[in-house]
Amino acid sequence: MIDARDTFMYDMVKYMEVLKLTKGETKDLDGNLRRTYMLYVKAPAKINLTLDVLYKRPDNFHEVEMIMTTVDLADRIGLESRHDGLIKILSTNGFIPDDSRNLAYQAAQLIKDTYGVAEGVTISIEKEVPIAAGLAGGSSDAAATLKGLNELWNLNLSIATLAELGAKIGSDVSFCVYGGTALATGRGEKIQKLPAPPTCWVVLAKPKIGVSTAQVYGGLNLEGIEHPNTKQMIKAIETNNYDLMCNSLGNVLESVTFQLHPEVVMIKEQMKRFGADAVLMSGSGPTVFGLVDNESRLGRVYNGLRGFCDEVFAVRLLGERNSLD
């Protein structure tokens, strides 16, 4: 388990998720010229190598045990300081809410409220990660906002503190703050670092549907479900065993989403048919991913899926954390 006493701070040179810091000028409410700063942060998607649900807790959350890892598909978050104290959301995707429903907005508001920050921020979200896809796009945007505002507003917060803040926003946000590969337990906020998994290609395919995570969890019957072998997946990662990793994939939510959306089953079957080594639904879906360790087969899987989905991506596993730890 990650020690809450972790005090590693961010370094602008080594902190790979922070892409660029630029300066500009704007006028405040009194017409005075003030310097502003724009900072860009990557917000990578995640996939679930395993997802197990153990039981429903008294607080109505589910106790989970899941292994997640980041992939080379990312939104880009721009953070520009403003002197009116407001939080503004701009996005390249019209389906993204621009108010307090947005997790990045919630992250900025939480930072302001917790640390008494008077400054405002304009948050620009350049979307690459599909929305409502089981890839933690919104959670990753929130995590990137937390990390970026820590720099922009010179708060000097540790990564452990940012992860604790992230847990107040959503179950996946803590993992997204750390990134890399990890075992997540509790409701997803307890993070145990793991090594990077064996290197391979990942093909992601999302059908034209959105899935309600609450509906999927609500439809899960814990009686008689087949639980993934989390310990075996950890062994595969720690021993860099690609075949064992492929054989250890598992997600208990698949059965629920498959019943609600049969097209997800079809995508999984087609991905297998086109030659992926292993195939699984990520999160509550509907995105399905396939692992491929051969570049020639990668093209066949990718091109084959293009006939079934508009949103298909061929990416690499990132696996390693980008923060200083």
Q: In CATH, what number is assigned to the domain containing residue 206? A: 3.30.70.890
Q: Give a yes or no: residue 223 inside a domain.
A: yes
Active site residue 11: no
Cis before residue 44, ω within 30 degrees of 0?
Answer: no
| More confident call, 35 vs 228 | 228
Final residue of a structural domain among 163, 194, 225:
194
Same domain? 47 vs 73: yes
- pLDDT (average), residues 39-46: 97
Quick one: which of 129, 67, 49 has its CA closest to 290?
A: 49
Q: Give a yes or no: residue 102 inside a domain.
A: yes
pLDDT at 1: 38
Active site residue 190: no
Q: Give a yes or no: residue 114 inside a domain.
A: yes
Among all chains, which residue has been given the structure tokens 């997802």?
51
Q: Give a yes or no: residue 4 inside a domain.
A: no
Same domain? 26 vs 135: yes
Same domain? 178 vs 71: yes
Catalytic residue among 42, 46, 112, 206: 46
Same domain? 170 vs 65: yes
Q: Give a yes or no: residue 1 inside a domain.
A: no
Same domain? 190 vs 205: no
Final residue of a structural domain among 194, 227, 256:
194
Q: Give a yes or no: residue 322 inside a domain.
A: no
Give the separation between CA 293 and CA 291, rounded to whole angstroms.
7
Same domain? 41 vs 73: yes
∠ CA 234-238-244 to the nearest 5 degrees? Answer: 65
Same domain? 23 vs 171: yes
Same domain? 124 vs 34: yes
Output the CA–CA distances (angstroms, integers) from residue 106 to 11, 116, 150, 194, 263, in the order listed. 25, 15, 15, 28, 33
Q: Give a yes or no: residue 27 inside a domain.
A: yes
Give the domain range for residue 120: 18-194
Cβ–Cβ < 8 Å for 152, 15: no
Q: What digits encode the pLDDT tens for the residues 176-186?
A: 999 999 999 99
Same domain? 41 vs 136: yes
Total count of domains within the chain: 2
CATH number at residue 67: 3.30.230.10
Task: Write out the DSSP string of 211-236.
Answer: --HHHHHHT---TT-----HHHHHHH
**Percent of the chain with pLDDT strictly greater than 90:** 79
- pLDDT (average), residues 113-139: 96
Catalytic residue among 52, 75, 172, 277: 172
Can you give the pTM of this predicted structure? 0.88
Same domain? 231 vs 291: yes
∠ CA 294-300-305 to the nearest 5 degrees? Answer: 125
Give the separation between CA 81 and CA 36, rounded to whole angstroms.
5
* pLDDT at residue 25 tops 60: no
Q: Give a yes or no: residue 181 inside a domain.
A: yes
Q: What digits encode the pLDDT tens for the residues 109-122?
A: 999 999 999 999 99
∠ CA 180-49-192 to the nearest 5 degrees? Answer: 45
Q: What number of other Cβ atoms are within 10 A of residue 170's Cβ?
A: 21
Same domain? 211 vs 169: no
Q: Please report which confidence band the pLDDT of residue 310 belongs to, taking 50, 70 and 90 as the band edges.
A: confident
pLDDT at 175: 98
Final residue of a structural domain among 194, 220, 242:
194
Same domain? 102 vs 227: no
Average pLDDT, the chain: 89
Cβ–Cβ < 8 Å for 199, 317: yes
Instruction: Please list, residue by residue across 11-26, b when 16 or more beta carbons sit within 10 angstroms of its beta carbon and e when fewer do.
Output: eeeebebbeeeeeeee
